[in-house]
Amino acid sequence: MSENVLKVAGLTVAYGGIKAVKGIDLEVNRGELVALIGANGAGKTTTLKAITGTLPPCKVDGTVTYMGASLKGDQSFHLVEKKLAMVPEGRGVFTRMSIQENLMMGAYTRDDKAGIEADIAKWYDVFPRLKERAQQMAGTLSGGEQQMLAMARALMSHPKLLLLDEPSMGLSPIMVDKIFEVIRNVSAEGITILLVEQNAKLALQAAHRGYVMDSGLITMTGNAQDMLVDPRVKAAYLGE
């Protein structure tokens, strides 16, 4: 039996009088990589913000259940303690800290010093550019380098659920390939992932299941491989 890590039910978000998310249901099971795709303005980022409680509660309705308990009212530092990590659009690294310090901050809920050092070494192996710049301020990194750092920092917390918002945005094709290789590897290690992506093809190729969001509604869901060959998905989101 699959086990829910995340379950969203009847989620609604209104900005003023405008509903950006209109009562959606979505779930992510243990070990799954789930892609949430859709056009600009569909409500994908708003959905992630509602899950992580970064929107004022008065705007949000519905339930968000993580590991069997409601997430409502949790502050972001509680989420890290609960092993829920988010890499937001625009990355959100600590710009005035070095790369090394950012990685250490990612592990602040852990106390296994040797394990933390081993993980930092592992991420420096995966992203040699970060190793070369270990003492450089994160704010001076390029967009692609910040994306690598944000991903590595999130994974330093050993999350049970990783939320990724548009990891390919603004990256060169080579960097996009690299980031997706890392996402696939992290998923293969068993970490549960909800991936929001504009690049529907890459996202569905990596994912087990997918959801299509359009104008605040989930309009389609299914096995990612089936969605990749679905004529409606192909026409609207894969440019085929």
Q: Which residues bind ligand ATP (CB under 6 A)?
A: 15, 20, 38, 40-46, 198
Residue with Cβ nearer ligand ATP (43 or 159): 43
Tell me whether strands 18-29 and 33-38 are parallel, antiparallel or unpaired: unpaired
For the bound state, the minimum distance from the C-beta of residue 152 to ligand ATP, rounded and expressed in Å, comes to: 23
For the bound state, the minimum distance from the C-beta of residue 16 to ligand ATP, rounded and expressed in Å, comes to: 7
Residue with Cβ nearer ligand ATP (12 or 136): 12
For the bound state, the minimum distance from the C-beta of residue 119 to ligand ATP, rounded and expressed in Å, comes to: 30
Place of tokens 């998905």: 233
DSSP secondary structure letter of residue 22: E
How many CA within 13 A on the CB side of residue 121? 6
- Is 155 in a helix, a strand, or coil? helix
DSSP secondary structure letter of residue 139: G
Residue with Cβ nearer ligand ATP (38 or 106): 38
CA 223 from chain center: how many Å? 19
- CB crowding 214-231: b at 16 or more within 10 Å, else e: bebbbebbeebeebbebe
Q: How far apart are CA 240 and CA 99, in angstroms?
A: 40
Residue with Cβ nearer ligand ATP (38 or 167): 38
Q: How far apart are CA 174 and CA 178, in angstroms?
A: 6
Residue with Cβ nearer ligand ATP (34 or 126): 34
Contact 150, 156 (CB under 8 A): no
For the bound state, the minimum distance from the C-beta of residue 13 to ligand ATP, rounded and expressed in Å, comes to: 8
Residue with Cβ nearer ligand ATP (20 or 162): 20
Q: How far apart are CA 144 and CA 107, in angstroms?
A: 22
For the bound state, the minimum distance from the C-beta of residue 65 to ligand ATP, rounded and expressed in Å, comes to: 21
For the bound state, the minimum distance from the C-beta of residue 94 to ligand ATP, rounded and expressed in Å, comes to: 23
